[in-house]
Copies of this chain bind each other. A is one copy, B any other.
Amino acid sequence: MGTTTERTPKAAIKLIATGIALPPERVTSSTLDSRLGKSAGYVERRSGILHRYHATADASQAALAAEALHHALDSYHLDPSSVDLLICASAVAVQALPCSAIHILRAARLSSGVAGFDINSSCVSFISAFEVAAGLLNTGAYRRIAIVSADLASRGIDWQDEESSLIFGDGAACAIVERGDGRSGILATQVEMYPEGSELCEIRAGGTRRNPRAGIAEGDFLFHMQGKPLFRMASEKVEAFFTRLLNKSELALADIATVVPHQASHLSLAHMRKRLKVPESALIDIYRHYGNQVAASIPTALHEAFTTGRVMPGKPLMLIGTAAGLTLAGMVLLA
């Protein structure tokens, strides 16, 4: 394993700004105890969450995304017109057509005429978008790219399903990237799709598979999560995946200064600590205060790391997650 000072990124990319947005309503686990008729402390114990945020039924996903985008722009004094590509990297879209980037551009009141598209690999969309952004910055196609992930998971919560209903929170997060001088960038990316797990976590409606013509039921709009088999499949695969990612980066776990995981569940974060042996000092864990924010989790955790000095110039940073699909994605960067 090489030392970090020897490593040269394969694809230059530099994180220059981050921002987040949350719906106004903070839902505590004790509120859910009352709402669901549970004894005091039950929901917090079961979910590992103190509170999460839920949008009202009329709130706009695109408006929340736009708020995160402006938070990033404003906090780092960036001119909105300097963004020449807008990538939406959410798991669930605003609507079937047109793409969500359009709706975010409209809600953000940025100038018309900017380039954009959506990237989707469910909860790890942000990792795919980051890899794509690096490619486009290196061919010189764009100079400043805003990646925005926003998900309103609450709109699809099945309140009859205790396991999934307690963990989801809504939110949006933005990362703004440039090519930089080549010292920062991607050392390795690893993405693996295992479609044999496609029904372990899904929302069946929304496209051509379930609609009034193909046949649809009310429940098709809701998250269906087979928690135990999903966790079993993900945890079986993630250890070897983690090793492949580290090997590709030519680094050892001890070299990684900061690990930004998808905040999938209490169990998944415990698994990071115990089985993958990610030290507490490296792990970004915001789950207790946000829950699982679907595709917004990784960039929200990255914002937490970036704004608290845990994205350190020249130090290796890992993004990693297991997602609906089943998709595993990870990236090792020099920050």
Query: Which residues of A pack against B, CB within 8 Å?
Result: 10-11, 57-58, 60-61, 85-86, 91-103, 105-106, 112-122, 125, 128, 131-132, 134-141, 152, 155-156, 186, 189-196, 198, 201-215, 218, 221, 223, 323-325, 327
Write the nearest CB–CB distance from A76 to chain B, whole angstroms. 23
Q: Can you list 5 contacts pairing A with B, beta carbon distance less than 8 Å?
A: A58-B214, A93-B93, A95-B203, A112-B194, A211-B221
Contact A93 B91 (CB under 8 A): no
Contact A96 B141 (CB under 8 A): no
Q: State A125–B60 Cα separation when bound (angstroms).
A: 24
> If A105-B195, A132-B132 touch, does A92 touch B208 (CB 8 Å cutoff)?
yes
Copy tally for this chain in the complex stands at: 2
Residues of B within 8 A of A203 (CB): 95-97
Partner of A99, one of B106, B205, B325: B325
Residues of B within 8 A of A141 (CB): 10-11, 131, 135, 189
Q: State A215–B155 Cα separation when bound (angstroms).
A: 11
> If A105-B193, A325-B102 touch, does A208 touch B132 (CB 8 Å cutoff)?
no
Residues of B within 8 A of A206 (CB): 93, 95-97, 205-207
Contact A140 B191 (CB under 8 A): no
Residues of B within 8 A of A118 (CB): 118-121
Write the nearest CB–CB distance from A134 to chain B, whole angstroms. 6
Q: Assuming A102-B193, A112-B194, A115-B191, what are 18 further A-B pairs, CB within 8 angstroms?
A: A61-B207, A92-B96, A94-B207, A95-B204, A96-B207, A97-B203, A98-B201, A102-B325, A113-B192, A114-B192, A117-B119, A117-B121, A134-B135, A138-B138, A152-B208, A211-B221, A212-B218, A212-B221
Residues of B within 8 A of A323 (CB): 98
Contact B214 A102 (CB under 8 A): no
Write the nearest CB–CB distance from A180 to chain B, whole angstroms. 14
Write the nearest CB–CB distance from A322 to chain B, whole angstroms. 12
Partner of A117, one of B92, B125, B136, B190: B125
Write the nearest CB–CB distance from A158 to chain B, whole angstroms. 11
Q: State A323–B99 Cα separation when bound (angstroms).
A: 11
Contact A93 B96 (CB under 8 A): yes
Write the nearest CB–CB distance from A21 to chain B, whole angstroms. 15
